[in-house]
């Protein structure tokens, strides 16, 4: 097991500040706590007669708790981590519920070999051709729709949600769900963006370029075609991704964010290779609760591991492969200046013209609130706008305290969406 986590590391995995406050409130409710060098456990008294059973694998990290909370980690897991950091957990043998949990996780992580007599699944060329034809027909329909709207003028056509939902539904029927998802965001652009005509024209141009590229897909480089298919909504099997060459590095975990929509939880993990400087984004999904099967170290940790990248002209999304070491905290962070970050974004956008955002790690920037909005300002006084909810921006401002910090986030060519902050050995995510 790694050495006990510091309070900063525990704060980094907390879903929100209120969870840490709640964790302190149950500090005296523990019984039968312990660790065996690989996992932590304990029973925490709640309002009922049966205590909550909590277990943690810090190396993953992975969390188990029988409480009804949908937050991961919950206040009980955070409280148990705090006790571990304080040296309050005695060594011992794990109880039965911990052994069962570990066995279930090991079984879920094992990919069984297919039976010898089971035929290998090969994509049906006829089905693939039928889908290609449906997508092509749907995109031609979309291009006529876009042309009509431009011909009549953006100010004289309807921009209601029903209008965009109707064309989006037609793209779903054409088996181009990625296009449908893009169309469904456009009504809100008109409603909320002050400069909506410019933004809408940009989105229309993006969709038109997708139509033209699909017409000429047989003439495009292979990686660009893979990117185009991804943006259109063609899926890629994980088995295909794992067949891609592994990229081994000491990957630094810079941020984790969990979002929910209609009880579908999405976890995003931002990583950067220490030696290669490559960015990687891990996506995981869970329905009903934020309990994900794939485990990764907490922000502020690094791990020597293989990653397999989805094939693309600007590879970013990846799946984890073999681990070569246990995670350990990193002490230095190779942040970049503003010019370097923007140059990298320009190269990636040049490789993939439909790319919406690219990660950046900006060093020595100060978050500021001005009459013109929120910005991060570098040492030379240059500023880039930051977006996000007010709570996140005020937390960013409060933690920085007017001093230079390192900020990790996504840059979309217009504004930065922060996902984590590093200062004096402390990492905060939101």
The 3 state secondary structure assigned to the chain is CCCCCCHHHHHHHCCCHHHHHHHHHCCCCEEEEEECCCCEEEEECCCCCCCEEEEEECCCCEEEECCCCCCCCCHHHHHHHHHHHCCCCCECCCCHHHHHHHHHHHHHHCCCCCCCCCCCCCCCHHHHHHHHHHHHHHHHHHHHHHHHHHHHCHHHCCCCHHHHHHHHHHHHHCCCHHHHHHHHCHHHHHHHCCCHHHHHHHHHHHHHHHHHHHHCHHHCCHHHHHHHHHHHCCCCCHHHHHCCCCEEEEEEEEEEEEEEECCEEEEEEEEEECCCCCEEEEEEEEECCCCCCCCCCCCCEEEEEEEEECCCCCCCEEEEEEECCCCEECCCCCCECHHHHHHHHHHHHHHCCCCCCEEEEEEEEEEEEECCEEEEECCCCCEEEECCCHHHHHHHHHHHCCCCEEEEEEECCCCEEEEEEEECCEEEEC
Domain ranges of the chain: 7-107, 127-232, 238-329, 338-429
Residue 385's CB is within 10 A of a number of other CB atoms, namely 13
Residue 93's CB is within 10 A of a number of other CB atoms, namely 8
Name the token pair of 227. 């990117």
How far is the C-alpha of 230 from the C-alpha of 316, rounded, in Å? 12
Quote the pLDDT of residue 38.
85
Query: Omega into 73 within 30° of 0, i.e. cis?
Result: yes
Name the token pair of 383. 């500023």
pTM of the model: 0.80
How far is the C-alpha of 75 from the C-alpha of 48, rounded, in Å? 16
Q: Are 43 and 52 in contact (CB under 8 A)?
A: yes
CATH number of 338-429: 2.40.50
Query: Omega into 144 within 30° of 0, i.e. cis?
Result: no
Name the token pair of 401. 């305290």
Residue 360's CB is within 10 A of a number of other CB atoms, namely 23
Quote the pLDDT of residue 114.
45
Report mean pLDDT in 10-residue bins for the chain, 430 residues: 77 82 92 91 90 89 87 91 92 92 72 49 80 96 97 94 96 96 93 90 96 96 96 92 95 89 85 96 83 79 94 96 88 90 96 96 93 91 89 84 92 94 78
Contacts of 73 (CB under 8 A, 6+ apart): 13, 14, 15, 19, 56, 61, 63, 65, 81
């Amino acid at each position: 097991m790694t050495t006990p986590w510091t309070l900063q590391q525990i704060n980094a995995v907390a879903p929100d500040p209120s969870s840490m406050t709640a964790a302190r409130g149950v500090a005296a409710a523990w019984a039968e706590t312990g660790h065996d060098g690989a996992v932590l456990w304990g029973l925490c008294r709640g309002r009922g007669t049966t205590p909550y059973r909590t277990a943690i694998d810090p190396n993953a990290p992975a969390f188990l708790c029988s409480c009804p909370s949908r937050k991961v980690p919950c206040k009980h897991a955070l409280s148990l981590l705090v006790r571990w950091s304080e040296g309050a957990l005695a060594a011992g043998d794990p109880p039965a519920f911990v052994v069962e949990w570990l066995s279930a996780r090991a079984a879920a992580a094992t990919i069984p070999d297919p039976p010898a007599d089971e035929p290998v699944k090969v994509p049906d060329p006829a089905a693939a051709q039928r889908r290609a034809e449906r997508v092509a027909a749907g995109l031609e329909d979309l291009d006529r729709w876009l042309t009509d709207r431009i011909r009549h003028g953006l100010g004289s056509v309807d921009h209601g949600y029903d209008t965009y939902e109707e064309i989006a539904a037609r793209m779903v029927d054409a088996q181009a769900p990625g296009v449908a998802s893009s169309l469904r965001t456009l009504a809100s652009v008109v409603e909320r963006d002050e400069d909506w005509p410019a933004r809408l024209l940009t989105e229309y141009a993006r969709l038109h370029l997708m139509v033209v590229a699909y017409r000429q897909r047989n003439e495009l480089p292979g990686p660009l075609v893979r990117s185009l298919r991804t943006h259109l909504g063609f899926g890629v099997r994980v088995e295909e991704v794992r067949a891609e060459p592994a990229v081994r590095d000491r990957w630094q975990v810079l941020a984790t964010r969990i979002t929910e929509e209609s009880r579908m939880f999405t976890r995003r993990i931002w990583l950067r290779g220490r030696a290669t400087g490559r960015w990687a984004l891990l996506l995981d999904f869970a329905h009903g609760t934020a309990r994900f099967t794939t485990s990764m170290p907490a922000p502020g940790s690094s791990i020597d591991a293989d990653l397999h990248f989805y094939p693309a002209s600007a590879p970013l999304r990846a799946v984890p492969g073999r681990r070569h070491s246990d995670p350990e905290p990193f002490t230095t962070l190779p942040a970049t200046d503003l010019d370097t970050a923007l140059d990298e974004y320009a190269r990636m956008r040049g490789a993939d013209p439909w790319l919406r955002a690219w990660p950046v790690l900006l060093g020595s920037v100060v978050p500021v609130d001005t009459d013109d909005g929120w910005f991060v300002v570098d040492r030379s006084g240059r500023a880039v706008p930051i977006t996000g909810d007010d709570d996140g921006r005020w937390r960013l401002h409060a933690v920085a305290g007017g001093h230079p910090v390192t900020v990790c986030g996504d840059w979309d060519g217009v504004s930065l969406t922060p996902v984590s902050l590093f200062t004096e050995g402390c990492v905060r995510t939101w």
